[in-house]
Amino acid sequence: MSVASLNDIIATSIRIATPVTLAALGGVFCQKAHIFNIGLEGMMLAGSFAVISGQILFPGSVAAGLIFAALAGLLLSALFALAVLKFDTNQIITGIGINLLSLGLTSFLLRAVYHTQGTLRADIMTKIPTVRIPFLQGVPILGGIFGEQNLLTYIAFVMVIITALLLYKTPFGVAACAIGELPECAATAGIKPKKIGLLAILWSGLLCGVAGTYLSTVSVSGFTEDMVQGRGFTAFSALIFGNGNPFVTWAVSILFGFADALGIRVELQSSGFPSSIIKMFPYILSVAALAASCYARETARKRKKTK
């Protein structure tokens, strides 16, 4: 394979993995604090709707769109936090509730406010800009990763680092791990589990909102109903596979992106291979990743037992 085409497929994988990466990073603290947050999907959907509303209200403003998306994600995550932390509701059911509420609200508002069915576009759409780093583009692999990407993809890179720093180097990250692993010790150490849980959940809302913007402004330009298509759950399985480690989670997200990219390539070459079959890959891969991580966990547990 030539350098150009290798770089091309790496670049595509990473590009496509952006929303999944961001959403999965958002869930890192929840995963560490043992908060079962499957509302990622709904929070992403809210973000991808809100970014378009933001751009319609403030024509052509990328910043307004991003802020709207982040707020939408935060709002839903605040609702999740309120239910789960304050009222002790079942986390799985509440997560499903967030997803359904987001699906319902976006579809409802699409028709009630914008009087459209199907796809919503802003009249003046300013795409989130693509950034080019010229001197890297010729380099194999590195050029593929960093040479030319959307701004959001670079934000995702930075977020991997920031998440890792927050997780391993700040009291907040350590506290999140503590309330997940050793809740009693955490309480003894004076850690407030609700406060840490709230921050962890809000963080997931923020990042999922931003992740959603990628889908409706970069992947395609416009919001369509239920456009997240299970990427929130794909992100969730990346998260479980990485057990909350930001770097592993990131790597798995990119693997899912690679499966997607492969599909697009096959589709473009129009080899006659059915695209519906290829579109199954990321989901099958996600199930496989979940199974693999569960297998590893179970064997580790058994080994512990026999010792």
Partner 1 sequence: MKVSEAFSGLVRNQKASSAGKTLLRQVILILVAMVLTSLFLLVTGYDPFIVFKAIYKSISTDIGGTIRWMIPYGLMGLAVALTFRMNLFNMGVDGQLYLGAIGATYISMKMADAPHLVAVVATIAFAVIAGALFAVIPAVLKIRLNCDEVVVTILLNYVAYYFTDYLVLGPMLGDGTLATARSTNYTPENSWLTRLKWLGDSSANTGLFIMLAVLIGIAFIFYKTRFGYELKTCGANPRFARYGGINAGRVILAAMIISGAIAGATGAIEVMGIHHRFPIRFSNSMGNDGVVIALLASNNPFGILLTSFFFAALKNGSNIMQRIADVPSSLVDVVRGIIIFTVSARFGISWFQNRRKAKVEKAPGKEAA
Question: Whose CA is closest to 25, among 153, 164, 173, 214?
Answer: 164
State yes or no: residue 127 binds partner 1 (CB under 8 A).
no
State phi, psi for 47 to the nearest 5 degrees. Answer: -60, -45
- Give the per-residue contact string, 36-55, with partner 1 (x = CB under 8 A; - = no): --x-----------------
CB within 8 A of 277, min separation 6: which ones? none
The CA distance from 250 to 256, in Å, is 10
- Give the per-residue contact string, 66-85, with partner 1 (x = CB under 8 A; - = no): -------------x---x--
State yes or no: residue 93 binds partner 1 (CB under 8 A).
yes
State yes or no: residue 102 binds partner 1 (CB under 8 A).
yes
State yes or no: residue 217 binds partner 1 (CB under 8 A).
no
The CA distance from 107 to 94, in Å, is 20
Which of 86, 127, 169, 195 is the binder for partner 1 (CB under 8 A)? 86
Residue pair 254/17 in contact (Cβ under 8 Å)? The answer is yes
Residue closer to partner 1 (CB basis): 166 or 238: 238
Q: Where would I find the beta strands (DSSP E) of the chain?
A: 119-120, 130-132, 148-150, 223-224
> Is 131 in a helix, a strand, or coil?
strand
Which of 105, 136, 199, 264 is the binder for partner 1 (CB under 8 A)? 105
Which of 101, 164, 199, 262 is the binder for partner 1 (CB under 8 A)? 101
Q: Where do contacts with partner 1 occur on this chain (CB under 8 A)? A: 38, 79, 83, 86-90, 92-94, 96-98, 100-105, 107-108, 110-112, 229-230, 233-234, 236-237, 240, 274, 276-277, 279-280, 283-284, 286-287, 290-291, 294-295, 297-298
